[in-house]
Every structure is written in C-alpha cells, then in structure tokens.
Amino acid sequence: MEQESEWEPKLLGFLCRWCSYAGADLAGTSRKKYPANIKIIKVPCSGRVDPLFILKALRMGYDGVLVSGCHPGDCHYQTGNYRARRRIVITKKFLEYMGVDPRRFQASWVSASEGVKFTEVATEVTKELSEIGANQLFVDGK
C-alpha cells in the first residue's frame, strides 16, 4: 500500500539529562504513546540551552522547538533551570514580537517520574504545530 506523503511537523526537543530525558525514557518503558515527530537532543541541563540553538533550529527548518528541564528547585545543578527560565522567557517574548508564532517555541518542566506528562506535552505541542503549518520563516524569495 502506498503511503500518502502528508506534511508532518518536525519538532526538536532539548531535554535535560537528569529529569526530562529520564521522563521521556519512562514514557517509553511504560509503553505510553506519543507522536514520533519529536527528535530529542539530550543536554546535561536545561541551562545549557542558548537561545542560539532555538534560532538555529528554526533556521534549519524545524517547525518547532521544545526545551524541557527539571522543575524549579529540583535542578540537579541547583540553579541551571532558573537561568534557563529567564532565558527561555525573554526569548519567547522577543520572538513573538519579531513575528514568530509563539507556539513554535515552547518549554516545559518534566521530572524523571512524569512519563505521562511528557507524552502529553509532546502530543499537545505536535498538535499545535500541525495547526500552525510548516515553518516558512527562513525560506527565500516570497
């Protein structure tokens, strides 16, 4: 049977190694389903994420970016996610001002035991991205 090539959103996820990545792993071992649109990059801490990564991902054609880390107060490195929070929030607001749909860059706090939450986040974000449509932000010649 031939597969219809329908556009599927591409989501890039930066997951912190101690909480969110473990949470995603738990979702897997618990056989919880979530859309395969997300590609995950493991970072040691959400504080590792430079806004540059987000812009670069959008530039490369990803339809959305998700940054996920430990809950505030639970960071393995004590303060990494606090720093990430400040950066994420100003990046979100600034990109929205520039004209990027705010749903393209999202963030979440997912702990190592929240496998279910991770599946919910991944599903919701993917759904929102399918609603917005493909990322044409950096496409030439319009």
Partner 1 sequence: MEQKLRDGAKTLLEEGKVDYIIGFEPGSLKFTTTPLITKNKDDVDRLVINPFIKNNLSVFLTELKGRVGIVAKGCDSRSIVSLIQDKQVARENIVIMGIPCPGIIDLKKVELLLGRDRDEVDDITRDGDKVVITVEGKKTEFPTTKLLFDNCLSCESPTPQEYDVLLDETSPLVTDSAASREKIKTLEAMPQEQRWEFWKEKFDHCIRCYACRNVCPACFCKRCFVEESQPQWVLPVPRWQDNLIFQVIRNIHVAGRCTDCGECERVCPVNIPLRSLTKRMYEIVDELFQYKSGMDKEAPPLMSHYEQEEAEGLIR
Q: What is the CA radius of gyration of the chain?
A: 15
Residues 6 or more apart in contact with residue 124 via CB below 8 angstroms: none
Q: What are phi and psi of 62, to 5 degrees?
A: -65, 140
Decide: is 59 part of the binding site for partner 1 (CB under 8 A).
yes
As measured in angstroms, the least distance from the Cβ of 23 to partner 1 is: 13
Q: How far is CA 114 from the centre of its chain?
A: 16
Query: Within positions 66 to 105, which residues make up the interface with partner 1, using CB under 8 A?
Result: 72-73, 79, 82-83, 85-95, 97-101
- DSSP element (H, E) containing 9: none
* Site size for partner 1 (CB under 8 A): 36
Contact present, 36 and 124 (Cβ < 8 Å):
no
Measured from the CB atom, the residue of 79 and 113 that comes closer to partner 1 is: 79
As measured in angstroms, the least distance from the Cβ of 58 to partner 1 is: 9
The residue within the footprint of partner 1, chosen from 12, 70, 121, 129 (CB under 8 A), is 121
Decide: is 134 part of the binding site for partner 1 (CB under 8 A).
no
d(C-alpha 64, C-alpha 101), whole Å? 10
- Residues near partner 1 (CB under 8 A): 51-52, 55-56, 59, 72-73, 79, 82-83, 85-95, 97-101, 106-109, 121, 124, 137-138, 140, 142
